[in-house]
Structure 1
Amino acid sequence: MSNPFAAVAITKHGVEMARGLVTRFPGTDLYYMSKFARGDEEERGYHLFEGSVKLILPDLFKQYNGLIIIISLGAVVRMIAPILEDKKKDPAVVVVDDRGEHAISVLSGHLGGANELTRQVAAVLGARPVITTASDVQQTIPVDLFGRSFGWVIESFDKATPVSASVVNEERVAVVQETGESNWWTYEKPLPDHIRVYTSAGEAMAASFDAALVVTDRLLTAEEEASLLRNGVLYRPKSLVLGIGCNRGTAAEEIERVILDTLHELKLSPKSVRNAATIDLKKDEQGLLDVCAKYNWRLETFSPEQLNAVPLANPSETVFKYTGAYGVSEPAARLSSGADGWLLEKRKSGNVTISIARIPFTAEVSS
């Protein structure tokens, strides 16, 4: 299905409500029992079904990101119980009562987006959103969503549950943030006293804590892993920009190998790469495009004039002869990242030249 959501109804009032909802909530397909057909379903793209709604739910679970089910909560719980798999796979499920008074987040509140979907549906229907997730109710850090709006990637979910428990139970929580966006605290109240922010792993390891949220683009040392991830979650912010220069026709495999080897040598995570950057002449370089597509990296390009505006310690006359720019990887990395310098100024390996810059996020921590 092209739409991300599906609304399902099995009663007269539920169908009436659902028909109104889908006209005001874009991206929602509608399913209801054929006995309530009005004759305009084919024209409007509505779906009719016969028999128990339980029979169509397994397919809807696979087809949609979120389900809005206008049926009693108990009935929905019993129907979906046999088809639940995992919170990382199951769609969001929101239940709405037959009078549209309450919209209830039932399944995949955080990772699946049910809590946000509940708020949106409630706003459209004029209903009361019912959300029971502890971090939402207490207005604290949702461990499984931390940094998600910025594109941060969780390295592992292994400790997400116990760390979440530490957060909501007001145990000592260390937020170790070495890079990445710092404006993650969005509540209109101060950061709770049991949550402390540290700017380096070493600073946190010298303190006492029960759980840790670690935000870094570095590969942790064995000692850091043992201390911080014993009861911690590791997040990879999108903080690195790769400046890339290469000879025409360079294979994707060579470009990829240089990138990964260089990141590993510098002890940086590929998951923290935000994008690659190069000269306009390389915007159609297939090998580079293939690598960017594989890792879902955006490729940003600059004109020779833009690149030449960046001062370089060692401008290359040879590069200028062929491209009109005195350098490619170095200035491209700086321009794209907004950084004043480089983590890696320039390194040539075979047909590839690479530079790496870290995006300068504001130094002010959340409060």
Structure 2
Amino acid sequence: MRIAGNPKPYAIVGITKHGSELARKLASAMPDADLYLSEKFLQKGDEASVYSFPTNVRLLLETMFHRYEGWILVVSLGAVVRMTAPLLKDKKVDPAVVVVDDKAKFAISVLSGHLGGANALTERVAEILGATPVVTTASDVSATIAVDLLGREFGWKIDDDRQVTPASAAVVNEEPVAVIQETGEPNWWKRQTPIPKQIGVFPGLEEARSARPEGFNAVLWVTDRLLTEDELSIAPYRVVYRPKSLVVGLGCNRGTSFEEIENVVLTTLDRLGLSWKSVSCIATITLKQDEEGLLALSEKYGWPLLAYTPEQLNSVSIPNPSETVFKFTGAYGVSEPAALLAACTDHLLLEKTASGNVTISVARIEFGGGKADHITGKAGEVWA
């Protein structure tokens, strides 16, 4: 058996003559996939581009199952079910599994349709092969909201997933559901059809309560705020999504410890009633771009570090300019203008506040019109 040492996202598997032909066709159209064929159907020159396994594919699956994001198997559905069943752990970590029949009549989403992306992968495979996609997930066939995927492409995180299942049931059973969106990307509805009429979309709690005083069966709440029990009482089932909507501007004395910076950030956000899970990035001046405490904070929480030059910072009007700060940094402020620049806004949720060796400001990103499109990247990266 020859397997990939550095696997691509997907694996394509063929075990029969016709299945191998289909697998080759798929692989030629999917550069993000590794091709695995039974040793019996290898051809001259395959050594460079095709991986192999003995006649029984079970050993390949046992060895590589969780090393791929998704599997496309030109194998009978029953066989795939039997082989993969002992390998399953949890829907949050199991890979997507798509099955294609030997004549490419159907591409079937078998496992991890939503979280694992099997439904989307099924559509992709079906389009390449001219097959009929078979997707049985209720929210997909009903053209409604997929509760566990809402805002996923934007990086929204579910605060607590324990009520995802009953909230999903309320959605697919066409019960009254409220979507309350206070912040975050507005273009989360991607289907061509309108949002189902039993789902109301509101900018805030008061609007939702006014629209339906008797309440809702479930609420999907998109917010960076820490919600109260009274607010959540609008529905028996609640799913709270944390969009990446907050920017934390930071200044600090040289050598300030990671622990002190972290404590200031977390306690400040908590005092403001904001969730740290909604922090998109941290922002500072280029003089601090190598500060170990800031880099450690960026690394631990996955918050990209944006660093601006004094000239960039001075281009922003701030409420608390300081001649002292200018004397040492060349900028009239650090935390305030850095937060405003990174959030593409002119409004601060928190003006400059000093705490020990740290100065902190907080701003909310203004979504819409592409203003916040630059807030991307990896933790630890520094942008000027």
- Shorter-chain TM-score above 0.5: yes
Distance in structure 2 (CA, Å) of the matches to 1:253 and 1:48: 50
Find the counterpart in structure 2 of residue 283 from structure 1: 289
Q: Deviations over 1:168-220 (max 9, x none)?
A: 11100011111111211222333222111222234435632111101110111
Distance 1:186 1:112 in 2: 18
Who is 2:70 aligned against? 66
* CA displacement, residues 99-140 of structure 1 (integer Å, 9 cap, x when unaligned): 122211111011001111111222222222221211111211
1:36 equivalent among 18, 41, 50: 41
- Tell me, in whole angstroms, the C-alpha distance in 2 between the residues paired with 1:263 and 1:162: 30
Match of 2:199 among 195, 200, 204: 195
Once the two structures are superposed, the pairs formed by residues 120-135 of structure 1 within 5 Å of their partners are 120-135=124-139
1:221 corresponds to: 228
Alignment CA distance shift 1:109-1:231 (3 Å):
same
Matched, 1:19 2:13: no
Contact 1:9 / 1:32 at 8 angstroms: preserved in 2?
A: yes
Q: Which residue of 2 aligns with 1:83?
A: 87
Q: Aligned residue pairs: how many?
A: 361
Q: What's the offset of the Cα at 1:23? A: 2.2
Cα displacement string for residues 215-266 of structure 1 (whole angstroms, at most 9, x for unaligned residues): 11011113234x1563121100111001111112211111111101111111
For residues 261-272 of structure 1, what are the structure 2 equivalents within 5 Å?
261-272=267-278
Amino acid at match of 1:135: S
Q: Choose which of 210, 213, 219 in structure 1 pairs with 2:217.
A: 210
**Matching of residues 174-185 of structure 1 within 5 Å:** 174-185=178-189
* Structure 1 residues not aligned, in runs of 5+: none
Q: Which moved more, 1:234-243 or 1:94-103?
A: 94-103
> In structure 2, what is the equivalent of residue 232 of structure 1?
238
Question: 1:153 offset after TM fit, Å?
Answer: 0.3
* Equivalent-residue separation in structure 1 for 2:202 and 2:295 (angstroms): 38
Amino acid aligned to 2:167:
V
2:264 maps to a residue whose letter is V
Contact preservation (8 Å) 2:217, 2:235? no
Alpha-carbon separation, structure 2, partners of 1:309 and 1:96: 58
Query: How large is the Cα RMSD of the aligned pairs?
Result: 1.6
Superposed displacement of residue 361, structure 1: 2.6
Contact 1:25 1:124 survives alignment (8 Å): no
Tell me if the contact between 1:214 and 1:228 (Cα under 8 Å) persists in the aligned partners: no
Question: Of 13, 35, 42, which residue of structure 2 is paired with 1:8?
Answer: 13
**CA distance in structure 2 between the partners assigned to 1:106 and 1:354 by the alignment:** 48
Whether contact under 8 Å (1:166, 1:172) holds in the other structure is yes
The amino acid of 1:221's aligned partner reads T
**Contact 2:143/2:193 (<8 A) preserved:** no
Partner of 1:358: 364
Give the letter for the 1:19 counterpart. Answer: R
Q: CA deviation at 1:312?
A: 2.1
| Gapped regions of structure 2 (runs ≥ 5) | 1-5, 370-384
Name the structure 2 match of 1:322: 328
- Look up the match of 2:317: 311
Residue pair 2:69, 2:116 contacting (<8 A) in 1 also: yes
Q: CA deviation at 1:325?
A: 0.3
Percentage of matched positions with identical amino acids: 59
Deviations 1:124-171 (A, max 9, x none): 222222212111112111101001111100112211111111111110
1:38 and 1:362, CA in 2 relative to 1: closer, same or farther beyond 3 A? closer
Residue number in structure 1 paired with 2:118: 114
